[in-house]
Amino acid sequence: MTTEQEEITPSEKLERDGVSFIKILIISKVIIITLVGAVAWWLLKDL
How confident is the model over 31-47, as a mean pLDDT? 94
How close are the terminal C-alpha atoms of the chain, in Å? 69
> Does residue 44 sit within a domain?
yes
Judge whether 13 lies within some domain: no
In a domain, 8, yes or no: no
DSSP conformation letters of 1-47: -HHHHHHHHHHHHHHHHHHHHHHHHHHHHHHHHHHHHHHHHHHHHH-
Q: So what's the pLDDT on residue 2?
A: 54
In a domain, 40, yes or no: yes
Does the residue 29 lie in any domain? Answer: yes
- For residue 34, the enclosing domain spans 23-47
Q: What is the pLDDT of residues 5-19, one digit of tens each?
A: 556 677 777 778 888
pLDDT at 3 > cutoff 70? no
The pLDDT value recorded for residue 6 is 56
pLDDT (mean) for 25-42: 97
- The answer to whether residue 36 is domain-embedded is yes
- The total of structural domains in the chain comes to 1
Task: Note whether residue 45 is domain-resident.
Answer: yes
Q: Give the pTM.
A: 0.55
